[in-house]
Amino acid sequence: MRITCAKDDLAAVLSAVGRAASSKNTVPVLGNVLVDARDGQVVVAATDMEISLRAPLLATIEEAGSVVLPRLASDIVRSMASGPVMIEHRPGEGVVSISGGASAFTLNCHQASEFPELPRDEGIGVRLPSAVITATAERVARAASRDDTRPVLTGVLVRVESDSLTMVATDSYRLAVRRSQIENGPSVPIEALVPARALTEVQRVVTLGGADEVELVLSDTQCTLRAGDVRLTTRLIDGQFPDYRQLIPDRFDHDVTFDRTELLGTLARIGVLAQRNTPVRMSFSDGALTLSAVSDQLGEGRETLAIAYSGDPIEIGFNVEFLRAGVDSIEDDVVRLGIINPLRPGLLRGGNDEYRYLLMPIRLSG
């Protein structure tokens, strides 16, 4: 195989696709990136057997063939001078050459025959605006669990109906839901539990594909996201996702409104002290909210905001990082917090946004 391409194009594709390569050493070839040049096109791909990502590379094919580049090739190419780069590999040899300008590298490599077959596209597809799916995925996936002992909670429930796209994620301490309006959705709703890790790559897939639309293809076992000629495929998670509709209260004793920027700034300052398991304490009284945190090692801090609150004083505690993530996910200038009592979850949402962020409280001492 011998191909020539622009250094910047190669660096961008290797960096993006390499995110799907395995970080484990159990199957060495999975930690690398396949470059396949045939039938007049070059495709770069990586997989860890759970997620696979493939993208086209604009290149001139002088000799067709394929090779598995080591992951460090991405760092090498990125550091090279701008201009054309050549990749050359002779069948059966255990090295690959990368050269451009005054630079020349010979790297150990795997044979393409060692690389697993990539999954084929299958299932029911629906086209969605790129802006809708990226905004929804970004704001919801952050609430998914990272604990592999509960696989169901590491996923995002994706439901596509004729007029809406809904995504839901929870780690049992918080729950994020966003419903977005779409057009020309399927007549029969489709639903799947997609790994959150895959959805966090949607923005990169869209950027690499340069597409205004993303095609979401769902089957019984896998999900494929296509943006232009870029494809990300992931296995679905098997299991029953919690019924989120039953978890979100339909009424609150208090519904408090904040300026989003002001609240984020206060949480950033108080959050310096509210580390690890130290909660941020929210004390509501007539016309005011006092946020405070106390750390035995660092000290204590408090800040008071003027708000439209009336009624009996109430105190509730939250994990400050979870609370900040929820406020940050609100796109409106105004943030609303619904509260029932200090032992029931609080609900964050914007003025007209169909985003909901449910947050479990932390029991306060004293």
3-state SS string over 126-146? EEEEHHHHHHHHHHHHCCCCC
According to the model, what pLDDT value does residue 366 have? 65
Residues 284, 309 share a domain? yes
CB 85 within 8 A of CB 267: no
Does 186 map to a domain? yes
Where is the domain boundary, 183, 210, 244?
244
CA-based nearest residue to 198, from 165, 234, 158, 231: 234
E strand or H helix at 113: none
Does 309 map to a domain? yes
In degrees rounded to 5, what are phi and psi of residue 138?
A: -60, -40
According to the model, what pLDDT value does residue 61 have? 97
Q: Domain containing 317 — which CATH number?
A: 3.10.150.10
Residues 85, 160 share a domain? no
Residues 240, 129 share a domain? yes
Q: How many domains does the chain have?
A: 3
Does 74 map to a domain? yes
Does 366 map to a domain? no
Residues 132, 109 share a domain? no
Residue 215, C-beta contacts closer than 8 angstroms, at least 6 positions apart:
125, 126, 127, 128, 224, 225, 226, 227
Residues 159, 98 share a domain? no
Where is the domain boundary, 114, 137, 159?
114
Where is the domain boundary, 185, 216, 244?
244
Return the amino acid letter for 170: T
Range of the domain at 19: 2-114
In degrees rounded to 5, what are phi and psi of residue 17?
A: -70, -35
**Per residue of the chain (366 residues), what is the pLDDT tens digit?**
999 999 999 999 999 999 999 988 789 999 999 999 999 999 999 999 999 999 999 999 999 999 999 989 999 999 999 999 999 999 889 999 999 999 999 999 999 999 999 998 788 888 999 999 998 998 999 999 999 899 999 999 999 999 999 999 999 999 999 999 988 888 889 999 999 999 999 998 999 998 899 999 988 899 999 999 999 999 999 999 999 999 999 899 999 999 999 999 999 999 888 876 789 999 999 999 999 998 878 889 999 999 999 889 999 999 999 999 999 999 899 999 999 999 999 999 997 768 999 999 999 886
According to the model, what pLDDT value does residue 353 have? 66
pTM: 0.89
